[in-house]
Amino acid sequence: MPAGTPALHSVPARHRGPSSERAGSGPIRTCVGCRAREQADGLLRVVAENGHLVPDPRRRLPGRGAWLHPVTGCLDRAERRSAFTRALRVRGALDATDVRKRLQDQQGSGTFPGPTAEESKVDPS
């Protein structure tokens, strides 16, 4: 390459195309069930605690998290593929009862994502 010519991979960020358009719209995560990429706002974070999967709608629980679409189909696929064990880097089977219950409750009420009233970030006092 002649001196002064930039390398192909050193294109300024403003010229990179569609990915730069969504830079301010939030992080992109991958659903462990269907492997589709989506904004984190549309996915439920799940963590492992004592052999159980725990939903983390506020995204505040410590430890490694896995992301999941808020539908039971993605949960079923993730369990069938043992995706939670790999994503969370734990050994042994994980009990997904709490996550399944939350998804069924959310689908029944038609609301998701976001914390419920008792999980709100605002202190009521």
Class of the CATH-defined domain 27-111: alpha beta
Max mean pLDDT range (16-30, 50-64, 109-123): 50-64
Mean pLDDT over the full length of the chain: 81
Instruction: Measure the CA–CA gap between 23 and 28, rounded to whole angstroms.
Output: 10
- The answer, yes or no, to whether residue 54 has pLDDT greater than 90, is yes
- The answer, yes or no, to whether residue 117 has pLDDT greater than 70, is no
Question: What is the DSSP pairing of strand 44-49 with strand 66-68?
Answer: antiparallel
Task: Give the largest Cα separation in the chain, rounded.
Answer: 66
Give the pLDDT confidence score for residue 107 in this predicted structure. Answer: 82
